Every structure is written in structure tokens, then in C-alpha cells.
């Protein structure tokens, strides 16, 4: 089992719709969860982080965390073509080194 | 990209030459990660280092590739005798140890082209 799993996509949504991106992780003791966005040819940039169970909202973005199910998601409301990118889920582990492990990313396409 | 510096940004090497990629982490960060990314593909983990130690090199090919993060100076990813298949973007990220709720920051990447 991969440590952090994401569906590679592409996930296609029409402009204005809600895009839902999902991620599961294997380290039950993980405490910190991050979403990065990577545009083609660019480096990943952090867009959201969440540490506690439940929802965290920031503008059009909502991160959801369910530690019991080892599941974290990112919702993008009112999707825009400029949101088209690859979204990477990252998990900071519970071990002594607190390694940050990335999923391979989900490619999102917002269709105008 | 709060301060992770990678150089060079672009590197062209002939087959058989050596490539040396450098990464200076955010000041105060003692953990460095190297990733490889082929066009239109996801990030592939290569190696995770702490100062003077390799913690996890499970993603790095056993031959021709090596990485170090010395006490002083940048982290180096070294590829010996490069082949066309090594052409990719190589990203470095750094994070802070001892603090759980902090993220990893990425550098701009080095685009390696083997001709």
C-alpha cells in the first residue's frame, strides 16, 4: 500500500462547479496534512493545510480531514479555468523524523 | 517557495557526463527531499536527507545516483554517466524538524536535459 494515495485523474469539471479531490494515507499517527497545487512546468505551492478533524475553509477552498478513516479531501467551489492544475496531497508522518510524504497528484481540468 | 534555492535552473549534459544538482534549503530547515518529475507525470520521491544523514533513499536508483546533505553547504544530487532517460525536472523541498505543523517548501526545480 502506498503511503499517500491519490487518483491521478484527470478530473474534469465544468466552470462554476465544485471540484472534489481525495487522498488517503496509511500512517495512522499522522498529524499534519497539506494540499499543494502545481501548474504545468512550475514547482508545487502550498494552498491549504489542516491539522484537526473536520473542515477548514479558505476562500473557495475547503479541506476536510477524517483521521478515523485516514482520509483528507480538498473541495474547490466555483471552479475556474485557472484552477486547472495538478493537486498534491502531502502528509507529515508521526515518526521521529516527521517525514513529509507526497501523493503523486490529481490532475484537475476545469472546462470553460 | 520561501527560500529554497536550486541551481542551476536548467542543465544540459551529454550522455555519459555527470550532473550535479544543488539545493539550499530554507534557513533553519534541516530536512531535504529530492523528487523527480517527468513531463505530464507526478512527483516521484527519490531521497530524504537530514543534515549529514540519508534517512530514506528508497526512491533513488541504486546505480549512478547519489545524494548528500553536508553539515555546511547545500544538498547535492549527483547523477553519474547520465542517460537520456535521466532527462526530467528535479525538485528539492525542505522542511523543519521538531515542529509538526509546518509544511515543506519547494524550490523552482532543475530541468535536466541529456542530449
A chain contacts of residue B57, beta-carbon cutoff 8 Å: none
Residue partners of B7: CB distance under 8 A and separation at least 6: B22, B110
Residue with cell 481540468: A109
Task: Give the pLDDT confidence of B50-70 residue by residue, as tens digits.
Answer: 988 999 999 999 999 999 999
Statement: residue B2 has pLDDT above 70: no
Q: Which of B43, B97, B107 comes nearest A88 by C-beta? A: B43
Q: Kindly report the number of other CB atoms within 10 A of residue A23's CB atom.
A: 24
Contact B103 A31 (CB under 8 A): no
In this structure, the strands spanning A19-25 and A4-5 are antiparallel
Q: For residue B1, what pLDDT is reported? A: 45
Tell me the per-residue pLDDT of B8-30, one tens digit each, with 9 for 90 and over: 999 999 999 999 999 999 988 88
Phi-psi region of A54 (alpha: psi -120 to 50; beta: other; left: phi over 0): left
**Is B95 an 8 Å CB contact of chain A?**
yes
Q: How far is B63 from chain A (nearest CA, A)?
A: 24
pLDDT interval class at A95 (50, 70, 90)? low
**pLDDT of amino acid A1:** 63
Share of chain A above pLDDT 90, in %: 73
Task: List phi, psi (to 5°) of B114.
Answer: -105, 125
How much is the pLDDT for B98?
A: 55
Distance of CA A53 to CAs A4, A20, A56, B86, Å?
Answer: 18, 18, 9, 41
User: Does the beta carbon of B64 lie under 8 angstroms from any beta carbon of chain A?
Assistant: no
**pLDDT tens, residue by residue, A37-86:** 999 889 999 999 999 999 999 999 999 999 999 999 999 999 999 999 99
Nearest to B54 by CA among B72, B70, B42, B39: B70
The answer to whether the Cβ–Cβ distance between A90 and B56 falls below 8 Å is no
Amino acid at each position: 500500500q502506498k503511503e499517500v494515495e491519490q487518483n491521478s485523474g484527470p478530473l474534469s469539471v465544468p466552470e462554476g462547479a465544485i471540484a472534489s479531490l481525495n487522498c488517503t494515507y496509511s500512517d495512522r499517527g499522522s498529524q499534519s496534512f497539506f494540499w499543494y497545487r502545481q501548474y504545468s512546468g512550475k514547482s508545487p505551492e502550498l494552498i491549504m493545510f489542516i491539522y484537526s478533524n473536520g473542515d477548514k475553509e479558505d476562500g473557495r477552498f475547503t479541506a476536510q480531514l477524517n483521521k478515523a478513516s485516514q482520509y483528507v479531501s480538498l473541495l474547490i467551489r466555483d471552479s475556474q479555468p485557472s484552477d486547472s492544475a495538478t493537486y498534491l496531497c502531502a502528509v507529515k508522518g508521526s515518526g521521529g523524523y516527521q517525514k513529509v510524504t507526497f501523493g503523486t497528484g490529481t490532475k484537475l481540468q476545469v472546462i470553460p | 517557495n520561501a527560500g529554497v534555492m536550486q541551481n542551476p535552473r536548467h542543465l544540459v549534459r551529454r550522455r555519459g557526463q555527470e550532473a550535479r544538482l544543488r539545493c539550499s534549503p530554507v534557513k533553519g530547515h534541516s530536512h531535504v527531499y529530492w523528487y523527480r518529475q517527468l513531463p505530464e507525470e507526478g512527483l516521484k520521491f527519490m531521497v530524504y536527507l537530514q543534515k549529514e544523514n540519508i534517512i530514506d533513499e528508497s526512491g533513488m536508483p541504486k546505480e549512478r545516483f547519489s545524494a548528500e546533505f553536508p553539515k555546511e553547504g547545500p544538498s547535492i544530487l549527483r547523477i553519474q554517466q547520465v542517460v537520456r532517460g535521466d532527462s526530467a525536472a528535479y525538485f528539492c523541498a525542505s522542511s523543519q524538524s521538531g515542529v509538526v505543523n509546518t509544511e515543506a517548501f519547494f524550490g523552482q526545480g532543475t530541468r535536466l536535459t541529456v542530449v
